[in-house]
Amino acid sequence: MRGIVFYGTEHIRNKHISIFDTTLRDGEQTPGISLNTEQKLNIAQQLDKLGVDVLEAGFAVSTKGDRESVQAIANAGLSLDVCGLARVKREDIDACVETGVDMIHTFVSTSDVQRIHTINKSREEVLEMAVDAVEYIKDHDIKCLFSAMDATRTDFDYLIDIYKSVEGAGCDIINVPDTVGVMSPSSMYNLISDINNNVNIPIDVHCHNDFGLAVANSLMAVEAGASQTQVTINGLGERAGNADLAETAMSLNSIYGAKTNINTKYIMETAKMVERYTGINIPAHMPIVGENAFAHESGIHTHGVLEKSDTFEPGIMTPEMVGQNRRIVLGKHAGKHAIKKSLETAGIYPTDEQLNEIIDNIKSIADKGKRITDADLYTIASTVMGKPSGEDAIKLKELSVMTGNISTPTAVVKAVIRDSETIASNTGVGPVDAAIKAVEEIIGEYATINIHDFRIEAISGGSDALAEVTIGVEDEKGKIISARSASADIVIASVDALITSLNIMLKSKS
């Protein structure tokens, strides 16, 4: 398997790739996100723990708060390099220098569309500004990263002229931004290859996700010779965001066999911290850190995974590697093996007959669009296993309820009682009351009962919550028998709990 995975990329195996995180700069440019200094410092410390090589702390010149945040992070004694962002302007560079950062990332628009319509400079002026900025940064004996903004839409010959010029000015590393996310992976590979053939300093890439290709483009850039890639936690950033750190780092580590300094077991806790601070929820289906990334529902899949995890998981990446957990999700696709395993894990051991009934109940509820939680499973199992064994005296055949703003709630119940079919209808103050009264009517000639207690509890949140109903029935001698049932339909749960209580009562009389 590994031979196939690495086919054609052997040159990357064991190569070290630096991870440059820009969550606190480009990530904070996600619409609706604004982080305070304390939050930024906490994230920076978490990224240091994660093993990020370079952290872009912010745009120091933009606001007083940004400058304070950058300075606080630069002075926090972190192991990683702290980077500040600056336009090719001396006041921007001075603001970064004053914060004490380890690296300054300076940038200028180089594509014709941006150069003409945003900064209104000629190609010659832009080149001169870039060289001056790099020289000014190096005069302060600080590492310099230069970005030709919108590089992927810049005339190639001009782009090479700029990169060669900043290299000659002492730049330490050049960045190739796909600023508007328009590159295809093959185009990115070709561009980085050509740049790599023309410059002698390390190449970094910054890919945006407008077409969902940011991670793919970052990986192709590495294949073509880039030694550093810029990422954000949870793929945050302008518009559709940036290349996601987890996806990029795990692809490099697990698929390519490259080396990074990322301590992968902290990926999940880092993602959750950023989710908490930003308020941007991680999609359930997001690779690696999403709730469903290592979740299985299909019977075939769960059976395979429970036997050997890499039957339906990559194998070269496990949930434990990234601080995740494998989950077996219960629903209409769930198999007997998975449900039995989930119950046994909780110390619940149903008979085969009971297990089949539990499975039928789960699939019936899931068919109505209800998500089955662990609490739901245990309630269903408890209900089924609490029913009396042997032939039931009462078997419900049909239940229908009519209700509305004008009509009185009316319930019709059809049941077989000791081989005799009986039907009854009744009204009530609500649909549950009407249904219970109808059941009481059909049982009248067999037993005298009184509803001693009645409790309803929602097991899970939402308007489609699974309702658990517990009913206590008192017979003519004062004996109380309780039973419970669970369903997404509260009327059905109520009737089922009542009939279970009555069956227990009638069996005790026989």
Task: Lowest mean pLDDT of 3-7, 211-215, 218-222, 285-289, name the range.
Answer: 3-7
> What pLDDT does residue 348 have?
81
Q: What is the mean pLDDT of residues 387-408?
A: 78
Assign residue 195 a region: left if phi > 0, alpha if psi is -120 to 50, beta otherwise? alpha
Scan for tokens 């009351």, then name that residue: 433
Q: Any idea of the CA torsion for 6, 12, 15, 20, to the nearest 10 degrees?
A: -100
DSSP 8-state symbol, 29: G
Q: What share of the chain is helix, strand, coil (3-state, %, to 5)?
A: 45, 20, 35
Q: Which residue has the higher pLDDT, 203 or 14?
A: 203
pLDDT-based confidence at residue 97 (cuts at 50, 70, 90): very high
Contact criterion met (CB below 8 Å) for 185 and 211: no
> What is the C-alpha separation between 146 and 166, in angstroms, rounded?
8
Long-range residue pairs from 250-254, CB within 8 A, at least 24 positions apart, any chain = 250/288, 250/317, 250/321, 250/322, 251/215, 251/219, 252/12, 252/17, 252/219, 252/222, 254/314, 254/316, 254/317, 254/321
Enter the tokens of residue 510: 């026989």
pLDDT-based confidence at residue 3 (cuts at 50, 70, 90): very low
Model confidence at 21: pLDDT above 80: yes
Contact criterion met (CB below 8 Å) for 73 and 96: no
pLDDT-based confidence at residue 316 (cuts at 50, 70, 90): confident
Model confidence at 305: pLDDT above 70: no
Count of CA atoms in the C-beta half-sphere (13 A) of 71: 13
Angle of the 90-99 helix axis to the 64-74 helix axis, nearest 10 = 40
> What pLDDT does residue 502 have?
84
pLDDT-based confidence at residue 154 (cuts at 50, 70, 90): very high
pLDDT-based confidence at residue 51 (cuts at 50, 70, 90): very high
In degrees, rounded to 5, the angle at the alpha carbon of residue 357 between the alpha carbons of residues 354 and 358 is 85
Reduce the DSSP state of residue 83 to 3 states and report it.
Answer: strand
Task: Give Cα separations from 6 to 186, 223, 225, 254, 270 (angstroms).
Answer: 17, 11, 16, 10, 28
Q: What is the mean pLDDT of residues 95-122?
A: 97
Percent of the chain with pLDDT over 90: 54
pLDDT-based confidence at residue 257 (cuts at 50, 70, 90): very high
> What is the C-alpha separation between 133 and 462, in angstroms, rounded?
56
> What pLDDT does residue 373 have?
60
| Polymer length of the chain | 510
Contact criterion met (CB below 8 Å) for 7 and 257: no
Model confidence at 40: pLDDT above 90: yes
Other CB atoms closer than 10 Å to residue 201's CB: what's the count?
A: 16
Model confidence at 81: pLDDT above 80: yes
Model confidence at 327: pLDDT above 70: no
> What pLDDT does residue 6 have?
58
Contact criterion met (CB below 8 Å) for 246 and 19: no
Contact criterion met (CB below 8 Å) for 467 and 409: no
pLDDT-based confidence at residue 248 (cuts at 50, 70, 90): very high
Contact criterion met (CB below 8 Å) for 388 and 507: yes
pLDDT-based confidence at residue 505 (cuts at 50, 70, 90): confident
Q: Helix H segments across 100-206?
A: 112-114, 123-139, 156-168, 185-196
> What pLDDT does residue 329 have?
58
Q: Which residue has the higher pLDDT, 315 or 182?
A: 182
Q: Which amino acid is at 422?
A: T
Enter the tokens of residue 432: 């549950």
Q: What is the 3-state secondary structure (H, E, C) of 402-440?
A: ECCCCCCCEEEEEEEECCEEEEEEEECCCHHHHHHHHHH
pLDDT-based confidence at residue 263 (cuts at 50, 70, 90): very high
Percent of the chain with pLDDT over 70: 86
Q: What is the mean pLDDT of residues 167-179?
A: 98
pLDDT-based confidence at residue 506 (cuts at 50, 70, 90): confident
Q: What is the mean pLDDT of the chain?
A: 86
> What is the C-alpha separation between 382 and 470, in angstroms, rounded?
12
Enter the tokens of residue 175: 């960045």
DSSP 8-state symbol, 226: -
Model confidence at 310: pLDDT above 70: no
Model confidence at 2: pLDDT above 50: no
* Structural domains for the chain: 2-278 (3.20.20.70), 295-385 (no CATH), 394-509 (3.30.160.270)
pLDDT tens readout for residues 351-395: 888 888 888 887 777 776 666 666 567 778 877 887 665 677 888
Smallest CA-to-CA distance from 270 within 19, 21, 43 is with 43
> What is the C-alpha separation between 141 and 490, in angstroms, rounded?
72
> What pLDDT does residue 20 have?
98
> What is the C-alpha separation between 473 and 4, in angstroms, rounded?
66
Model confidence at 118: pLDDT above 80: yes
> What is the C-alpha separation between 245 and 235, in angstroms, rounded?
7
pLDDT-based confidence at residue 94 (cuts at 50, 70, 90): very high
> What pLDDT does residue 242 have?
98
DSSP 8-state symbol, 357: H
Q: Is the pTM of this model over 0.85?
A: no
Strand 327-328 relative to strand 295-296, pairing: parallel
Q: Residues of 73-112 as b/e, b for ≥16 C-beta within 10 angstroms?
A: bbeeebebbbbbbbbbbeebbebbbebebbbbbbbbbbbe
pLDDT-based confidence at residue 472 (cuts at 50, 70, 90): confident
Scan for tokens 């294949």, then name that residue: 223
pLDDT-based confidence at residue 302 (cuts at 50, 70, 90): very low
